[in-house]
Amino acid sequence: MRVLAAMSGGVDSAVAAARAVDAGHEVVGVHLALSRAGGTLRTGSRGCCTVEDAMDARRVADRLGIPFYVWDFSERFRDDVIDDFISEYRAGRTPNPCMRCNEKIKFAALLERAIELGFDAICTGHYATLVDSPEGLELHRSSEQAKDQSYVLGVLTAEQLAHTYFPLGDTPSKDLVREEAAARGFSVAKKPDSYDICFIPDGDTRGYLAEKVGAESGEILDRSGETIGSHEGAHAFTVGQRRGLRIGRPAPDGKPRFVLEVRPVTNQVVVGPKEALAIAEIAGERYTWAGAAPPDPASPFACEVQIRAHADPVPAVARVADGALVVTPDEPLDGVATGQTAVVYVGTRVLGQCTIDRTVSAAPVPA
């Protein structure tokens, strides 16, 4: 099999590429250049797409004796990930840029080019597994729950899964991957994991959004619509946030307030008690199935829903109604924001996902 190994410069993708070579595949390594800022270096950076990362990936490829290329996907990344991130915040939603990158770049743009060049599959260092079933190929959680990355892969379609290869899915722990990298002589064996948003390398998301979206003062309201404070830019707030509200007037019950809603059109932020964060239902019109869809999606079916990469899955019932995937958790979800991704599981299988468009509160608004 001809395999294109996506090599980020980290330890996971390095070992994944090595295992693909060991399996006897014809492997070519590629690093995706997602920024045209040539001076971007690891110093002070917490992302995964720096010049030094490209150099680390090349060293691994050289040690494996495989061809290696750097492909410029910066324009596509800007259009599909960065611009989407900014526009979502402008609309008062909380996007997941890593999910969008997987959907639009790593398993769309990259896979399209790979197939055009005659490759059978792309190989990545994600911790997830693929299982053949009578209904077709299925995406499942990895064997290591703590490192499981199936959530961020929930956007993959059946066609994309058919051309995907996850060599690390059955690995019991990340420590074993690092040990294997060290035994292979990879310089990235002890390299820290990347985290935060790669195109905001200093981690200052609020400052980045202030520059891109603009900061304009507005009102902070309680659930009844009364103005109780002011802010310097609605983009700086997200649902569930507690810190940074700077409301001078305490709540009548003396309890902390949390952000319940961001209204970009009126530049208002709505706050209230923690119990008002409880969400009884979520829905999203932008939904996909990771493999075969349920036999009758319009009929309610039991599942589990996960709304963040590191959140615990919650038992729920889902159905497709009025053009949207509607999920009703058995117990209310806490602090859900529109723009987040809800991934639906049946056991260990990723069934599908949706970008959350609307939520229904479990707590009634006071009269």
On whether residue 203 sits in a domain, the answer given is no
Report the alpha-carbon distance of residue 318 to residue 58 in Å, rounded.
45
pLDDT for residue 210:
77
Residues 43 and 178 in one domain: yes
On whether residue 205 sits in a domain, the answer given is no
Q: Give Cα 53 distance to the centre of its chain.
A: 20
Phi, psi of 280 (to 5 degrees): -90, -20
184-194 residue pLDDT tens: 999 999 998 87
Residues 264 and 316 in one domain: no
Residues 114 and 42 in one domain: yes
Which CATH number belongs to the domain containing residue 319 in this structure?
2.40.30.10
Active site residue 198: yes
Number of structural domains found in the chain: 3
Residues 291 and 256 in one domain: no
On whether residue 116 sits in a domain, the answer given is yes
Residues 297 and 327 in one domain: yes
Contact between 10 and 22 (Cβ < 8 Å):
no
Q: Give Cα 137 distance to the centre of its chain.
A: 22
Q: Which residue range is the domain that position 319 belongs to? A: 277-361
pLDDT for residue 37:
57
On whether residue 50 sits in a domain, the answer given is yes
Residues 258 and 327 in one domain: no
pLDDT for residue 41:
44
13-52 residue pLDDT tens: 999 999 999 999 999 999 999 876 544 444 444 446 678 8
What is the rounded end-to-end Cα distance, in angstroms, of the chain?
A: 65
Active site residue 303: no
Phi, psi of 323 (to 5 degrees): 75, 15
The residues pairing with 132 across neighbouring beta strands, listed in sequence order, are 137
Residues 224 and 291 in one domain: no
Report the alpha-carbon distance of residue 85 to residue 154 in Å, rounded.
18
Residue identified by tokens 């949706």 is 354
Residues 81 and 27 in one domain: yes
Which CATH number belongs to the domain containing residue 93 in this structure?
3.40.50.620
pLDDT for residue 42:
45
Residue 187: what residue type? S
Report the alpha-carbon distance of residue 36 to residue 317 in Å, rounded.
45
Residues 48, 49, 98, 198: which is the catalytic one? Answer: 198
Residues 356 and 253 in one domain: no
On whether residue 147 sits in a domain, the answer given is no
Which of 58, 38, 41, 59 has the alpha carbon at shortest distance from 50? Answer: 41
On whether residue 135 sits in a domain, the answer given is no
Residues 101, 123, 303, 354: which is the catalytic one? Answer: 101
pLDDT for residue 62:
97
Phi, psi of 88 (to 5 degrees): -65, -45
Report the alpha-carbon distance of residue 234 to residue 89 in Å, rounded.
9
On whether residue 189 sits in a domain, the answer given is no
| Final residue in a domain of this structure, among 233, 255, 272 | 272
Residues 354 and 298 in one domain: yes
Q: What tens-digit pLDDT sequence spans the chain (367 residues)?
A: 999 999 999 999 999 999 999 999 999 999 999 876 544 444 444 446 678 899 999 999 999 999 999 999 999 999 999 999 999 888 888 888 888 998 899 899 999 999 999 999 999 999 999 999 998 999 999 987 778 999 999 999 999 999 999 999 999 889 999 999 999 999 999 998 876 688 887 777 878 887 887 778 889 998 888 888 888 888 778 888 888 787 877 777 778 889 998 888 788 999 988 888 999 999 999 999 999 999 999 999 999 999 998 889 999 999 999 999 999 999 999 889 899 999 999 999 999 999 999 999 887 666 5
**pTM, 2 dp:** 0.88
Which CATH number belongs to the domain containing residue 246 in this structure?
2.30.30.280
Residue 159: what residue type? E
CB atoms within 10 A of CB 48: 20
pLDDT for residue 229:
87
